[in-house]
Amino acid sequence: MRRTRILLTALVVGLLLVGTATAVSTPRTQPADTSPPVRVFVGETLDVSAVELTGGGTVGSGSATLVGLAGDADGTTESIDDPTDADFDGFETGSYDVAADGDDRADFVVAEPRVTSVVVRNQNDANVTDGWDPSGGGLTLTVEYNFDEADRLDVTVESPDGLDVTARVTAVDRITDSGGSITLDLSDEPVGTFEITVEGSDLDRASRTVTVRTGPRGTATPLPTPTETETATPTPVPATPTDTPTATETQPITAMPTDTPTATTSPPTATETRTTIETETASPTPQGTTSTSTPGFGVWSALLALVALSVLALGRFR
């Protein structure tokens, strides 16, 4: 019996939780459930005057001070001047206590709105998100997001030439429940890459964009190749003129032959040196003439000596 009561209690709680997550087709103006802590989203502007406080009573219409308790909000303080038109743009995410009730328990939880998943599948149930489908017919777009109790998602489809073709490719351009789907038909549109964007109608900071390419598999693939080739072709062209100045710089090196005259002046110096040496060498020539006269003087001396010897010899014989 006790186990049955526990199961029934869990079932009731589960139903209540499901009820608090009711999806909306238009942006809400006030929370559907006012029991604390009330979840609001960054960027929302709401009437929160009826929100119940953990310490009793409600927020009311007078100014209120919110004190951050946990998350990025921990330690921060925010003021709401008019709770009937409370702007939560710029709030840090996390839980807040309304200071007036003085119990340090969370009365609000501020969350970041996010599109968590966007998937496109073709008629064969193959995932073609950011991929390719030959015809683009019968595509199913499924989206999950965390703020379906606060706002809906709007869907926009843009053609390869940048035009908004949403009205032509789908009968429904919004999703009002997380996990909801719509059908897209791109088969009558020119082939190419389509951009599919989903975003909150009021919470437009929450958005995601995916693509689907249609047509033959190789249609879009060769297109970038010529573009890259054309871009790459000009690259060597600047390189050739760049080398030309380098060749011009080598011309001052060719002017080095001007050093040759310096080398040419050296031989004249050598020639002058030889001339000096020859001049100095030629001076001994007169000395050679003086030495030549020496033998002539010696012959006369020898004759005189011979005569003297002859006289002496004749004297002895007598």
- pLDDT per residue as tens, the chain (318 positions): 344 333 333 333 333 333 345 789 999 999 999 999 999 999 999 999 999 999 999 999 999 999 999 999 999 999 999 999 999 999 999 999 999 998 999 999 999 999 999 999 999 999 999 999 999 999 999 999 999 999 999 999 999 999 999 999 999 999 999 999 999 999 999 999 999 999 999 999 999 999 999 999 865 444 454 444 444 444 444 444 444 444 444 444 444 444 444 444 444 444 443 433 343 433 444 444 334 444 444 555 665 666 666 666 566 544
Buried b (16+ CB within 10 A) or exposed e, 268-283: eeeeeeeeeeeeeeee
What burial class does residue 147 get, using C-beta atoms within 10 Å of its C-beta: 0-12 exposed, 13-18 middle, 19+ buried?
Answer: buried
State which amino acid sits at residue 266.
S
Residues with Cβ < 8 Å from 39, sequence gap 6 or more? 31, 108, 109, 110, 111, 149
- What is the C-alpha separation between 72 and 111, in angstroms, rounded? 10
Residues with Cβ < 8 Å from 250, sequence gap 6 or more? none
CA angle 76, 113, 178 (to 5 degrees): 145
Q: Give me the residue label for tokens 């909000």.
A: 73
Confidence (pLDDT) at 208? 98
pTM > 0.75: yes or no: no
Any idea what DSSP says for residue 164? Answer: B
Backbone angles phi, psi at 301, to 5 degrees: -65, -40
Query: Hey, how many other C-beta atoms are within 10 angstroms of the C-beta on 40?
Result: 23
Residue 255 tokens, joined: 């002017």
* CA 185 to chain centroid: 36
Domains with residue ranges and CATH for the chain: 17-111 (no CATH), 115-213 (2.60.40.10)
Confidence (pLDDT) at 22? 78
Helix, strand, coil percentages, rounded to 5, for the chain: 35, 25, 40
Among the listed residues 124, 158, 122, 160, the one whose alpha carbon sits nearest the alpha carbon of residue 141:
122
Sign, CA dihedral 264-266-269-275, equals: negative
Residue 67 tokens, joined: 């004190």
Confidence (pLDDT) at 21? 53
| Distance set, CA 190 to CA 128, 161, 198, 203, 219 (Å) | 18, 9, 22, 32, 12
3-state secondary structure (DSSP) of residue 306? helix
Positions of E strands within the chain: 38-41, 45-46, 64-71, 77-80, 86-87, 94-98, 108-111, 115-121, 131-132, 139-145, 153-158, 174-175, 181-184, 193-200, 207-213
Backbone angles phi, psi at 234, to 5 degrees: -65, -20
Confidence (pLDDT) at 308? 66
Quick check: bond before 37 cis, omega within 30?
yes
